[in-house]
Amino acid sequence: MEFPLIKKFTKSKKKTLNVIIVGCGKVGTTLIKKLAAEGHNVTFIDTNSVIVDKLSNTFDVMGIVGNGATYTVQMEAGIEKADLFIAVTESDELNLLCCTVAKKVGNCSAIARVRNPVYSDEQPYLREKLGLSMIINPELESAKEISRILRLPAALSTGSFAKGQAEMIRFKIPENNSLDGKFLFELQKEFDFKFLICAVERGDTVTIPNGDQRIQAGDIITIVATAKNAYSFFKKTGLVKKKVTNALLIGGGRTSYYLCRQLEEMGISVKIIEINPKRCEQLSELLGDSTLIINGDGTDEDLLSREGIETVDAFVPITGIDEENILLTLYAKKVTQAKVVTKVNRINFKSVINSLELGSVFHPRLLTAEIILTYARGMKNSIDSGNIETLYHWFGDRVEAIEFRVLTNSEVTDKKLCDLKLKKDLLVACISREGKVIIPKGQDCIQKGDRVIIVTTHTGFENIN
C-alpha cells in the first residue's frame, strides 16, 4: 500500500475520509475518538442502543443501531461512499463477514480484527481471498511489544523502525547515573557511536531537545539508534540490566500464548500461572517444553513465592483485570528486582497510573488503534509520492514518532537539513538509506528512497513536507 507525499511546502488541503466502524468496545471507542479528532467523517454501528447514544453525543459522530454485517445497515451507514471500513466486534467471524459484505457493496479499504490463534497462520490467505487491506490481532501486537521490551530490560518502551534497523527506546534516568547533569552536546562528544536523544519528559512537560538542554535524574528520555548502538549506550551508561533468561506470566489468555511462542524463540523459559484448569490443559498442548503451566491463583502470595517471584528475571501480569495487574506489579516491585511489564486495558486515570511508577505499561487498545491510524493517515494523501510506514504515540499522546518512506523527489529532498525550514518542536531523528542507518546532522540530506523518522510534539502529520 502506498500513501503519497505532497510536493510543496504550502499547506495542502487535507482529504477527509469517510470511515465506518463496526463494534464499539474498547478498541472501537478509541478509534472513534482518534479518527474524529483527526477530522474524518466517522459513522459507527453497534447493537447496543445505549452505547450508540452515548458515543454519538460524546464525539459528535453518527451512530447506527443494528447488525453491521447486514446489507441494509451498511447501506444506511453510507457504505457506497465509504473510504475505510473497520470491523472490531468481539467476534472474529462477524468481523470477517462484515468486511466481506462491505467489499461486495462498497469500494473501500477494509480492516478486520481477528484474535483467535486458529486464524493466525491463515491471515495472508484470508487477507488475499477476502480482499482485506489488513487483519489485525491486538493480542499478537501486545506480545510483540512485550518481547521487544524484554530484549532490553532497562527500557520503559521501545519502537521499531526501518524494518527493525532502527530502535527508539524510552527509559528513565536513575539517581546517581553518569547521565545526570550532562548537556546533550557533551554526550554526543563523549560517545564514539551514533545515537540521538529526541525527547525529554520532566514532570508534566515534554520537549524536543536541542544540544543546550541539560538532563537530570528522574527525566524520561527517548533515544534513537541502531539496536547495536542502543545496547552500547545502555552498557556505557551503566543502564544494562541482567539479560532475561526466565519469565513468570500471570494469566493464560491469548496474549500469554503469543508471548510464550516468541519467548521460546528467544530462548527464554516461561512459567504461566492460570486459574482455569481447562485453559491450562489447552496451553500445555499448544506450547513447547520450555513453558511450564501452573494451575492456581496468580494473586496468591504463597504461590508466587513458591514459583520463584523473588528470583525471576521478568514478571508480566497480563490478566483481563487492570486492577489485578496493577496490584501484582506493585507487589512484584517490593519483592523482586525483575523486569516488570504491566497490561492495562483502560486508558482513564492516566495521571493516577503514572504516579504509581509501574514502569513498562502497555495498552492493547492503543497499540491496535495506532496501527489503524497509520493506515488511515496514509490514505489521506492523493499524490503518489510517499507513505507512512510506522506511527507511535508516546508520553500520553504528546509526542508522535512517524516513519515516512520517500518515494519521489520533492521540495524536501536533496537539500541540507540545515537549509530546510523545519517546524518548531520537530526533529529529523533518523534516516535509513539502502540498509544503513544515519543519525543525521545539519549537512545531511533526505533522498528519494529513504525512510525518514520524524519526532514531534505536533500531531496529525500525514506527509513529510
Q: Is there a single domain that holds both residue 210 and residue 265?
A: no
Which CATH number does the domain housing residue 105 bear?
3.40.50.720
Q: Where are the alpha helices (DSSP H) in 23-111?
A: 26-37, 49-59, 71-77, 92-105
What confidence category does residue 442 fall into, taking pLDDT thresholds of 50, 70 and 90?
Answer: confident
In a domain, 165, yes or no: yes
Question: 195 with 439: CB under 8 angstroms?
Answer: yes
436-438/426-433 β-pairing: antiparallel
Length of the chain: 465
In a domain, 463, yes or no: no
d(CA 95, CA 365): 17
Q: Which three three-digit cell numbers place residue 395?
A: 508520553
Q: Is there a single domain that holds both residue 55 and residue 23?
A: yes
**Could you say which of 194, 213, 236 is where a domain stops?**
236
Measured CA to CA in angstroms, residue 182 lies from 64, 76, 198, 201, 225 at distances of: 56, 60, 15, 15, 19
Average pLDDT, whole number, for the chain? Answer: 87
Q: Is there a single domain that holds both residue 320 and residue 390?
A: no
Closest CA to 309 of 342, 344, 333: 333
DSSP structure string for 325-376: HHHHHHHHHHH---EEEEE----S-HHHHHHTT-SEEE-HHHHHHHHHHHHH
Give the pTM.
Answer: 0.81
Measured CA to CA in angstroms, residue 161 lies from 4, 153, 346 at distances of: 19, 19, 27
In a domain, 70, yes or no: yes
In a domain, 60, yes or no: yes
**Could you say which of 378, 411, 439 is where a domain stops?**
378
Q: At what angle do helices 123-130 and 92-105 cross, to 10 degrees?
A: 30
**Percent residues over pLDDT 70 in the chain:** 94
d(CA 148, CA 154): 11
- Whether the pLDDT of residue 11 is over 80: the answer is no
**Could you say which of 354, 378, 402 is where a domain stops?**
378
pLDDT at 300: 95
Which CATH number does the domain housing residue 421 bear?
3.30.70.1450
Number of domains in the chain: 4
d(CA 397, CA 458): 10
Name, in order, each residue with C-beta under 8 angstroms of 423's C-beta and a sequence gap of 6 or more. 456, 458
pLDDT at 6: 33
Q: Which residue has the higher pLDDT, 79 or 290?
A: 79
314-317/205-207 β-pairing: unpaired
Q: Is there a single domain that holds both residue 33 and residue 121?
A: yes
Q: Is there a single domain that holds both residue 184 and residue 203?
A: yes
In a domain, 47, yes or no: yes
pLDDT at 351: 67
Whole domain around residue 309: which residue ranges? 246-362
In a domain, 465, yes or no: no
Q: Is there a single domain that holds both residue 103 and residue 38?
A: yes
Q: Is there a single domain that holds both residue 192 and residue 125?
A: no
- Quote the DSSP letter at residue 418: G
Residue 453's DSSP bridge partners are 403, 430
Q: Is there a single domain that holds both residue 217 and residue 272?
A: no
What confidence category does residue 381 fall into, taking pLDDT thresholds of 50, 70 and 90?
Answer: low
Q: Is there a single domain that holds both residue 162 and residue 224?
A: yes
pLDDT, mean of residues 212-231: 89
Q: Residue 126 half-sphere exposure, CB side, CA atoms within 13 Å?
A: 21
pLDDT, mean of residues 185-201: 85
pLDDT, mean of residues 410-426: 88
Which has the minimum average pLDDT: 45-54, 234-243, 251-260? Answer: 234-243
Q: Is there a single domain that holds both residue 274 and residue 329?
A: yes
pLDDT, mean of residues 286-313: 93
pLDDT, mean of residues 441-454: 90
